[in-house]
Structure 1
Amino acid sequence: MPHVERGMKVGLFGGSFNPPHAGHVLVSEIALRRLGLDQIWWMVSPGNPLKDHSDLEALEARVTASNSMVEDPRVKVTAFEAVYGLRYTAETLDFLKRHNPGIHFVWVMGADNLASFHRWQDWRGIAQTFPIAVIDRPGSTLSYLSAPMAKVFSRHRLDESDARRLPTAHAPAWTFIHGPRSTLSSTAIRKARASRTQGKKPETDKMP
Structure 2
Amino acid sequence: MTFLRPPGPIAKGLRIGLLGGSFNPAHAGHRYVAETAIKRMKLDYVWFLVSPQNPLKPTKGMAPLQARLASARAIAKGDRRLIISDLEQTIESRYTNDTVRVLKSRFPDVDFFWLMGSDNLEQFHRWQHWQDILDHLPAIVVQRPGYVLAALKAKAIQAMGYRFTVLDGRRNELSATAIRARSSEAKAGVVD
**Corresponding position of 1:165:** none
Q: CA deviation at 1:195?
A: 1.1
**3-state SS of 2:166 partner:** strand
SS in 2 for 1:139: coil
1:22 aligns to what? 28
Equivalent residue for 1:66?
A: 72
Q: Which runs of 4+ in 1 moved over 3 A?
A: none
Structure 2 residue identity aligned to 1:150: I
In the TM superposition, 1:143-154 aligns within 5 A as 143-154=150-161
Residue 203 of structure 1 is matched in structure 2 by none
Give the Cα separation in 1 of the matches to 2:155 and 2:67.
35
2:45 counterpart letter in structure 1? Q
Kindly, what percent of the aligned residue pairs are identical?
39
Aligned to 2:43: 37
The answer to whether 1:195 aligns with 2:188 is: no
Matched, 1:94 2:101: yes
How big is the shift at 1:2?
Answer: 2.0
Q: Which amino acid aligns with 2:144?
A: R
Alignment equivalent of 2:12, drawn from 3, 6, 9: 6
Deviation readout 1:120-159 (Å, 9 max, x if unpaired): 10011111110100100011111111111111113x1xxx
Letter in 2 for 1:87: R
TM-score using structure 2 length: 0.92
Q: What are the ranges of 5 or more consecutive residues in structure 1 without an aligned counterpart?
A: 157-172, 201-208
- Give 1:111 shift: 0.3
Q: Give the match for residue 57 of structure 2.
A: 51
What amino acid maps onto 1:9 in structure 2?
R
CA distance in 1, matches of 2:9, 2:94: 22
Per-residue CA shift, 1:68-106, capped at 9, x if unaligned?
Answer: 121211010001100110010011101111100100000
Shift, 1:10, TM fit: 0.2
Q: Which amino acid aligns with 1:4?
A: I
Provide the aligned length of Structure 1 versus Structure 2.
183
Structure 2 portions without partners, runs of 5+: 1-6
2:127 maps to 1:137 = no
| Partner secondary structure for residue 10 of structure 1 | strand
Mapping of residues 95-174 of structure 1, within 5 Å: 95-154=102-161, 156=162, 173-174=163-164
Normalising by structure 1, we get a TM-score of 0.85
Residue 82 (structure 1) aligned with residue 89 (structure 2): yes
